[in-house]
Structure 1
Amino acid sequence: MTQLGLGLDLTTKRTRKREFLDEMGRVVPWSRQIALIEPHYPKGKTGRPPFPIATMLQIHFMQQWFGLSDPAMEEALYDVPLYREFAGLDGGMARLPDESTILRFRHLLETHGLAAQMLALVNEILTEKGLMLKAGSAVDAALIAAPSSTKNGSGTRDPETHSTQKAATGTSE
């Protein structure tokens, strides 16, 4: 038996990535997302049983949040205990999804147009909480409540808000 199998949590620091995943675990409507996918998910009547929908869904979300390809996600599941924990793969499950399993799940979502429905569902819940999620990736992510406009109560632009512009880099040949 390995030390990881003892069920001991030896981590002492709450990292930003852990805080982000914990918050996403709380605010994403997982059961409603699973209900969207369930009618289209393989039943696994023969062969190796499929991974639970919740596991594949959480892996898919991590891929989107952290900008990981299918092979990179497979590798991250082996390398990063936090990712396995978030996906529910730490509970004595001997196998992990490989890149082709991750790819097939993504294709299932694309084939049935579920990704757009899932994003809309998440945004509906987050909007109720004053938050918003857009397509993209999270590097050092945190959810913050932000006003819907840069204009103040009187309808004019707030002088303390600034927009930034990428500096033009000219190269001469």
Structure 2
Amino acid sequence: MISLFAGEERSAKRERLGDPLQVLDRHIDFAALAKAVDAKLVIGDAGRGGRPPYPTELMIRLLVVQNLYNLSDDAMEYQLLDRASFQRFAGLEQSGRVPDAKTLWVWRERLKKQDLIGDISEAVGGQLAQAGFIARGGQIIDASIVTVPIQRNRRDENEAIGRGEVPAGWNEAKREQKDVDARWTIKHGKSYYGYKLHANTDRRWGFIRRIEVTTASANDTTVFESILDATNTSRAVYADRGYAKAAREQALGEAGYRDRIQRKGQADRPLSQAQQRRNRRIARQRAFGEHPFARLAQMGGKCIRTIGLARARMMIALKVITHNVMHLARLRQRRIVPA
């Protein structure tokens, strides 16, 4: 149906539905995130000429949007040219020059090579603390598999990769297109190929506070201690039975933590009724740790298309950063004030 006021009607409906990017823009200080990166960022010799680099704040905004909507570099370039909401969020409404797919790739590589992802994460953590959303209620330790495209290699090539060698006949160009870090694992009878995200989520607010990324074949328990968050105001540590270990339980107690790891029965020594009740109580708390993984899955965080462990760590960290800033923006939009 033709309407003389079609533009105004669509605009009014968009306002009613709400633009998540406007929520982000209203509640997240992207200038502060850019400042943390610029403090260490090295771009190159400006005296060589050429176009000046895009502002760091703009590129961080674009990387957040790209991960929020799970867009490839080419798709992000097109959407940035096509979608008014993206242009408003990036401040490019009146600009005739916008970053292309190659620029996005170069910026991610720059963040990876200069190890700047951690600085962005710390800056986001600073905004969480400034808003009062400190880690509270205990910490939930869990892991999730992140798949990557399966590599089609011959058996002898896989054997060489397993030994840490470059298969015979692989030139540099082929090597760059092959992921030799990802590994297979089996979960619930199904095979997966890729990496694993180990995350520490605070029970009260649901922010992912600390992460580690390993190959999918790595045991969940190998990085348990490295992602513990000493800043959480509660000393309770929740985890499933896969993390149960007598030495770990003792170490947690000695470090001042309260062990809330589910117990694991044995064939010759099943769990008692009291232990089963304890496991159920812990499971109710652990369920809150699944919420961030579900939100990451909505952003495509259960599957990435990168090559190598270093890029996987960078991409997964960007997904986690995007999750945390979006979660913070939504909490503040709902006017939730930490007690």
User: What TM-score do you get using the length of structure 2 for normalisation?
Assistant: 0.34
Name 1:51's counterpart in structure 2: 54
Measured in 1, the distance between the counterparts of 2:18 and 2:98 equals 21
Gaps of 5+ in 2: 1-7, 136-145, 147-202, 207-279, 291-339
Please say if residues 36 and 123 of structure 2, whose CA atoms lie closer than 8 Å, have aligned partners that are also in contact. no
Q: What letter matches 1:69 in structure 2?
A: S
Measured in 1, the distance between the counterparts of 2:23 and 2:53 equals 27
Measured in 2, the distance between the counterparts of 1:57 and 1:111 equals 16
Measured in 1, the distance between the counterparts of 2:16 and 2:124 equals 24
Name 1:122's counterpart in structure 2: 124
Name 2:114's counterpart in structure 1: 112
1:72 to 68, 72, 75: 75
Q: What letter matches 2:116 in structure 1?
A: L
Please say if residues 70 and 100 of structure 1, whose CA atoms lie closer than 8 Å, have aligned partners that are also in contact. yes
1:81 equivalenced with 2:84 (yes/no) = yes
Measured in 1, the distance between the counterparts of 2:41 and 2:205 equals 36
Q: Deviations over 1:107-159 (max 9, x none)?
A: 11111121222123213323534389xxx9xxxxxxxxx8348xxxxxx95xx
Q: What letter matches 1:86 in structure 2?
A: F
Identical residues among aligned pairs (%): 23
Name 2:102's counterpart in structure 1: 100
User: What TM-score do you get using the length of structure 1 for normalisation?
Assistant: 0.63
Q: Quick one: structure 1 residues 48 and 22, their matched pair in 2 at CA, closer, same or farther if it must change by over 3 Å?
A: same
Please say if residues 73 and 102 of structure 2, whose CA atoms lie closer than 8 Å, have aligned partners that are also in contact. yes
Measured in 1, the distance between the counterparts of 2:123 and 2:80 equals 26
Please say if residues 37 and 119 of structure 2, whose CA atoms lie closer than 8 Å, have aligned partners that are also in contact. no
Q: Quick one: structure 1 residues 108 and 23, their matched pair in 2 at CA, closer, same or farther if it must change by over 3 Å?
A: same
Measured in 1, the distance between the counterparts of 2:42 and 2:67 equals 20
Measured in 1, the distance between the counterparts of 2:60 and 2:106 equals 12
Measured in 2, the distance between the counterparts of 1:36 and 1:67 equals 25
Q: What letter matches 2:95 in structure 1?
A: M
Name 1:143's counterpart in structure 2: none
Please say if residues 41 and 53 of structure 1, whose CA atoms lie closer than 8 Å, have aligned partners that are also in contact. no
Measured in 1, the distance between the counterparts of 2:81 and 2:134 equals 32
Measured in 2, the distance between the counterparts of 1:124 and 1:11 equals 35
Measured in 1, the distance between the counterparts of 2:79 and 2:127 equals 28
Q: Where do 1:1-173 residues align within 5 Å?
A: 11-12=11-12, 13-14=14-15, 18=19, 20-38=20-38, 39-42=40-43, 44-45=46-47, 46-90=49-93, 92-127=94-129, 128-130=131-133, 147-148=204-205, 163=287
Q: Quick one: structure 1 residues 73 and 147, their matched pair in 2 at CA, closer, same or farther if it must change by over 3 Å?
A: same
Measured in 2, the distance between the counterparts of 1:11 and 1:147 equals 37
Gaps of 5+ in 1: 1-7, 137-145, 150-155, 165-173
- Mean alpha-carbon deviation: is it higher for 28-37 or for 105-114? 28-37
Paired residue secondary structure (1:14): helix
For the pair shown, the structure with the greater C-alpha radius of gyration is: 2
**1:97 Cα deviation (Å)?**
0.8
- Greater relative contact order (Cα < 8 A, sep 6+): 1
Measured in 2, the distance between the counterparts of 1:119 and 1:25 equals 18
